Every structure is written in structure tokens, then in C-alpha cells.
Amino acid sequence: MPEIMIDGQALNAEKTQTVMEAARAHGITIPGFCYHPALSVAGNCRLCLVEQEGRGIDIACKMPVQEGMRILTASPAVQDARQAMLQFFTLNHPVDCGICDKSGECLLQDYHYQYNGEPSLSHDPKLQRSKFFALSSRILLDNERCVLCSRCVRFTHEISKSRALGFVQRADHALLRPADPQALEQDAYADNIIDLCPVGALLSRRFFYRARVWYLQATPSICPGCARGCHIHIWHRKPQWQLKSLDAAHQRRIERITPRLNPEINGHFICNKGRDLADIFERPRLLSARLAGAPVSHEAALAQAYDWMIKAQHRVAVVSSWASNEELQTFQDTLGGVFHTFCKADQQPAPGEVIADDWLIVADKNPNLTQAQALFGSTPPQIDPATDLLLLWGEGLKVEDCPATARVIWLNAYEDSDSAWLSRADLVIPLSLQTERAGHYTNQQGQVGAFEPCFAKPDGVLDAVDVFQHLALRKALQPSSTPIPKNQTP
């Protein structure tokens, strides 16, 4: 393990590391546009210049560490060279930070103020290039802001393998362009290039002119789109920056989804489906309990559910694979011995969706089927004709699988889940969402990930944990008389 000196500080580095990697591993910042730890080294932005004593100035991203090397990251020569490079970057870059979606997260902004801070030396008009060029139905390109770092190009060549992007022409005339108009459209990971872009050249249509990042906060969460369990950030309005709007929904709106680094699960990236979670979480909600289709109070709904439970002789429960570990365990501890319990897949692949690949996307489109099956077995739901009470939790079960004579208690969150079940259920109890509570999911590989609440749950909904505990605390119930298969956990 070679020892090197960076700005007079002795560091132990790995033999395979570059100076850039060794510095960042020890918390030393060396600026750079083109360098990214998940991509190959391009060395084309020339901003990571450092001085090696006795050998002059070179780029840190391609400089392998050697025993005894002495590196200076802020010597006068480095500062002058870095300032000159930033002058080149700002030569034609538009000063439109006031309307740029990247403002507040832009590396060019940060580096300009930290390492340059001088007005442009050029008095010539800036070159004009294409703005808001449609790369795909999801991504816009502003070529005037592009710094030709090639991160996006390398991502599509090395990571997603779509080979969708490349540069045409050279020097001041160079432009980022799609190699094939459909390649980026069909790339299930294309939106990652928006995060990779160090400036505001690549823009999300979903987030376009939607919110300023300094008004937002990122809540750590888990993507429920499949059993991979990618770690994500859910961005939403800070409480202190609530909008003065007539529509209260703006205060609870998910502004965007971005990856949260986890080297063991998803690394730096997520798929496009993870970016679209607002389409799931912001569906029309069930906001009040319903008995025979009529709104009732929580107390009346729980009392009726308990009354049916104690009178039923053949009770069956089908639990949700979108429930958290805590919710599933609470059901097992409180009502698992009372019901003959199955679990199900709440969601199946949507038409046109990538079902699975050899990277992040897996075929199971549910975040916690692994834990549900660990607790309740993997036998598909088998609802005996003698069943007189069905407790259905979540989505994914067909109405025709339920005996016509059975009473149905449906625990669900969404108004638009299944109109057939909404009509068939005798009692509907609305539940909270993942974004309204804390919990954990267990992914397909058995790795446990935590999520935190973004919003307070509406007044009309309950947490599933509270429902189960409330029913169990009323009075001990006798086990269901429905026979339980040997390979099925009660």
C-alpha cells in the first residue's frame, strides 16, 4: 500500500488507485466534470489538474499513485491553470442560471465561485447552439450548456449498453446527439444521464421548470417498483417553504426521484420506472372507511370488522407483498393464528415494461414478496368455498377467486385499484402509503432496506399496524376452522 503526500498530508492509497481516487477516498476534493467513479476515465475536462513536485502539472483522474509522490492541489501554478480552464468553460456557456433546472446543484456554478470567480475575459458574442433539443420523450438537451464531459455518452456505452449517444463535429462546433433516435427511448436506464450531467444540459421533462432544489428536501426511501429494492431519494417541498396555493395537493407532491448510493444493491443508478413512482403514489386515494358502500368512521369500521371476525368460522387472509416487514410481522403476531393466511403478488409487469434484465430490473414487481413468503409461505391463495370471511390486503387478487357468500374486508390505499373489489367488498378500510410511514423491505437477495415518511398521512386513513393491533387487543379469537396445508404457515 503506497504512501503518498497530498498537500502535506500523508495518505495510504491502494496500488490500483489514481490520485483522484485516493484524494476523494480521504475527503480531499479535486474538482472535475468528466470524472465519475462508476465510469471509465476520459480525462477530457482538464479541470482536475494537480502538481506533482518535480514533475509539473497533470490531471489527477489518470495519474496512478506511486510510493513517495508529493501532490499539491492548490499551488499557485494549479490555481492559475484551473482558473484558465474555467475561463474556457464559461467562454460560451450561457449565463441563464436563473432559469436553469440545475441551478443549486450545478458543478460549474460551484467551481466558478470556488476556483475562478472572475468575469469572462471574452468580449465576443457567445456561440449559439440548439436549445431544448428532444433527445427522447423523457429528456431534453440544451447544447449551449453542454461542457462535453462525455459522462452521458460513456454511460450509454458502458453501463446501460444502449450506445444511444455520441458527439458530432469537433471543437466549438461539437454537439451531443443521439446515435439512433429510438435507442435512448428504449433505454430503461436513460434518465440516469440527467443526474450524471454536471451542468444543466440534460433536463428531465418530468421535472422541467417544476421546482427549485433549495425549496426541496430529499427523504431516503426504497423503490417499490420491483424486488431489487433500489435505494432512492424522494424529493418534496420543505415544510418551511410550503406554497401559498389554493390546491393543497401541491404541498404533498413528489417533485422527483433520484438514486441513493448503495454499492451492494443499485450502486449510483436506478431504472426509469423508479423515476416515475409519483404515478403510483399520487393515484386517487381512499380517504374514508366504507361499509356497504357508505362512509363510516374508523371506530365503526373496526367494530364491524371485529364483529365479523368473532362470528366467522372459516377465515382467510391474503396479505400484501407491498407491506413493510413491520406490518407483515404485526399481522403474524396479532392475527396470524386466527386466519388461514396466504400472500400474493400485488403487481404484475405492465404492458411494455421491461420484465427483467441482467442488471437491476427483476421480474418480481413487488418490493416485499420475499418477506411475505418467508412468513406465510409461497402457496398461491386457495380460498375454500366454505370461507365466510375474507380479509384482503392490497391488490392483485381476482374477484372471481372469492366465494360469493363470503364477507370481504378490504384493506387498501387507492380508489382506482380495482372497481370490482370496491363494489364487492362489504367493508373497506383505507391504509397509509409508504411515503406516510417508516418501515423496511426485504429484497429478493434478502437484503433489508429502510424507508422514511415524506408526508403526514391524511386524516381519513389508518396504518395497517394500528388496524391489526386494534382488532387483536379487543379479545382473543379462536383459530379458523379452515384446515391449513402442512407447507403453509398459519
Give me the percent of the chain exceeding a pLDDT of 70. 96
pLDDT at 100: 95
Residue 120 pLDDT: 84
pLDDT category at 329 given cuts 50, 70, 90 is very high
The three three-digit cell numbers of residue 92, written as one number: 460560451
Which residue in 13, 89, 104 sits closest to 46, CA to CA? 89
Least confident range from 248-252, 365-369, 432-436, 482-486: namely 482-486
Higher local confidence (pLDDT), 299 or 417: 299
Position 116: which residue type? N
Where are the domains positioned within the chain?
3-91, 95-209, 289-474
pLDDT of 361-384, one tens digit each?
999 999 999 999 999 999 999 899
pLDDT(489) > 90 = no
| pLDDT value at residue 383 | 93
Q: Which of 255, 269, 263 is nearest to 212 (CA)?
A: 255
SS (H, E, C) 453-473: CCCCCCCCCECHHHHHHHHHH
Q: Which CATH number fits domain 95-209: 2.40.30.10, 3.30.70.20, 3.90.380.10, 3.30.420.40?
A: 3.30.70.20
Would the pLDDT of 490 be above 70? Answer: no
Q: Return the pLDDT at 9.
A: 92
pLDDT exceeds cutoff 90 at 439: yes
Pick the CATH number of 3-91 from 3.10.20.740, 3.20.130.10, 3.30.540.10, 3.40.50.1370: 3.10.20.740
334, pLDDT greater than 80: yes
374: how many CB neighbours lie within 10 A of its CB?
16
The alpha carbon of residue 207 and the mean position of all alpha carbons in its chain are separated, in whole angstroms, by 14
Q: What is the pLDDT of residues 208-238, one digit of tens each?
A: 999 999 999 999 999 999 999 999 999 999 9
Query: Which of 76-80, 130-134, 250-254, 277-281 has the weakest average pLDDT?
Result: 250-254
- pLDDT band at residue 478 using 50, 70 and 90 as cut-offs: low
> Taking the CB of residue 151, how many other CB atoms lie within 10 A of it?
23
Reported as a single tens digit per residue, the pLDDT across 180-207 is 889 999 999 999 999 999 999 999 999 9
Phi, psi of 192 (to 5 degrees): -65, -25
* Count helices and strands in the chain by DSSP H and E runs: 12, 22
Please check the confidence at residue 119 and state whether its pLDDT lies above 90.
Answer: no
Give the confidence band of 483 by pLDDT, cuts at 50, 70, 90: very low
Q: Quote the pLDDT of residue 330.
A: 97
Q: Where residue 481 falls among pLDDT bands split at 50, 70, 90? A: low
pLDDT at 301: 96
Q: Matching CATH topology for 3-91 and 95-209? A: no
**Which long-range contacts does 467-474 make (Cβ < 8 Å, 24+ apart)?**
467/302, 467/411, 467/429, 467/431, 468/327, 468/330, 468/331, 468/334, 468/335, 469/330, 469/334, 470/302, 471/302, 471/305, 471/306, 471/309, 471/334, 471/335, 472/334, 472/335, 474/306
For 293, phi then psi, to 5°, come to: 85, -10
Q: Is the pLDDT of residue 166 over 70?
A: yes
Q: Could you give the residue ranges of the DSSP H alpha helices within 123-254? A: 151-154, 192-196
Q: 480 pLDDT band (50/70/90 cuts)?
A: low
Mean pLDDT score across all residues of the chain? 92
Q: Which CATH class is domain 289-474?
A: alpha beta
Q: What is the mean pLDDT of residues 121-131?
A: 88
Contact 425, 395 (CB under 8 A): no
Is the pLDDT at 485 greater than 70, yes or no?
no
